Amino acid sequence: MSSSEEGQVISVHTVAEWKAQKEKLDASGKLGVVDFTASWCGPCRVIAPFFEELAKKFSGVVFLKVDVDELKSVAEEFKVEAMPTFVFIKNGKEVDRMLLQYEDPTCFVSSLVFIYLLDDDENVVGDYHFVTDLKVSLFGGGVWTLDFLSKLLFLLSKLLYWCYLSILSCKIFSLFGIAQSKATELKPTDKNKTMEMKVCRKLITQNPPDPTPTGSSLLLHWGKMSSSEEGQVISVHTVAEWKAQKEKLDASGKLGVVDFTASWCGPCRVIAPVFEELAKKFSGVVFLKVDVDELKSVAEEFKVEAMPTFVFLKNGKEVDRMVGANKDELPLKIDKHIGDVAADA
């Protein structure tokens, strides 16, 4: 990246320009953010000045802009279906994406900061100069410490009540005092993958950090159920787990609701807290969650084509499904099928 391009949004108008910028980005090892926009898109025009301000603030990040009507092939390559869509790229791979609500640009900043902070084992905590202005404006100066990270997560979790932060890191176990033995109990190990921890807004806001918190003040919630699964959403991560849960559900005669979701899906994050609340309310119903990228074969088996998709199962058969994050329709469907279960009993 030339010095003239740093701190600016680089508009790409041809496929040749896109390939050149993409190759340069991949070789640099920097984080890149691609704004897929359109001239006719109102929210795109509203967020454009904010995107330009972020480019000035985060000078170590590469900001690219692609008009989907100019570069349809690039938009299709990244499966862009709505605008504005922001795709985060690092080391040649997509690491996150966001369909941005223009009235809530805070979520954009949070993803930008979190991806930079927590994307590898070596750089979980450090002094990141590119966000100095953000740090000073929110908390004052200082390096990125566990205490500071705790405060940052607390603030952003309050602002973004639906936002789950995934930390893909093994070394973070020692930073937060988590024993490896306990981690392996919570989620099966895989030499090619790291463990996943999720920071839950509900836990953080109910137990806010002290004015001068220690690392242990940051509460971590693991995406694995305790021995008591009733009233909770059961996240399924392997085909073996899915088969076991499916067999258990079929044998029970209970109604089951499977949430087919994806980590990059904005509506999925919006509906997730609702799904968890419904699990607490309908304790006689089995609530399962399947990530379509983790379990592609299961998603294909149920012919899932869009996320979120909720599939209703009873006695081994699909009895209904709902596509989309409709928080009003979902409990109504559960009520309906609970009644059907009672009638069959």
Catalytic residue among 41, 107, 200, 265: 265
Average pLDDT of the residues of the chain? 68
Q: Between these two residues, 37 and 114, which has the higher pLDDT value?
A: 37
Give the per-residue pLDDT at 98.
77
Q: How far apart are CA 237 and CA 224, in angstroms?
A: 9
Q: Between these two residues, 148 and 213, which has the higher pLDDT value?
A: 148
Query: Identity (one letter) of the amino acid at 71?
Result: L
Give the per-residue pLDDT at 174.
42
Edge-to-edge strands, sheet with 165-168: 165-168, 196-199, 221-222
Taking each helix axis from N to C end, the angle separating 132-139 and 146-159, rounded to the nearest 10 degrees, works out to 80
Q: Token match 């690491």: residue?
A: 95
Catalytic annotation present for 41: no
Radius of gyration in angstroms for the set of CA atoms belonging to the chain, rounded to a whole number: 22
- Considering the entire predicted model, what is its pTM? 0.38
Ordered DSSP codes for 259-273:
EEE-TT-HHHHHHHH
Catalytic annotation present for 265: yes
Give the per-residue pLDDT at 247.
87
Strands (E), 178-308: 196-199, 221-222, 233-236, 255-261, 286-291
Out of 59-73, 133-147, 166-180, 218-232, give the one with best mean pLDDT: 59-73
Give the per-residue pLDDT at 168.
29
**Burial annotation 140-168 (CB, 10 A radius, 16+ → b, else e):** eeeebebbbbbbbbbbbbeebebbbbebe
Longest alpha-carbon distance in the chain: 72
Instruction: Give pLDDT tens digits for 29-50.
Output: 888 999 999 888 766 776 787 7
* Residue 61 contacts residue 32 (beta carbons within 8 Å): yes
Give the per-residue pLDDT at 344.
52
Least confident span in 108-117, 266-275, 290-299: 108-117
* Residue 84 contacts residue 74 (beta carbons within 8 Å): no
What the chain holds in terms of domains, given with CATH numbers, is 9-119 (3.40.30.10), 233-339 (3.40.30.10)
Q: How far apart are CA 261 and CA 275, in angstroms?
A: 11
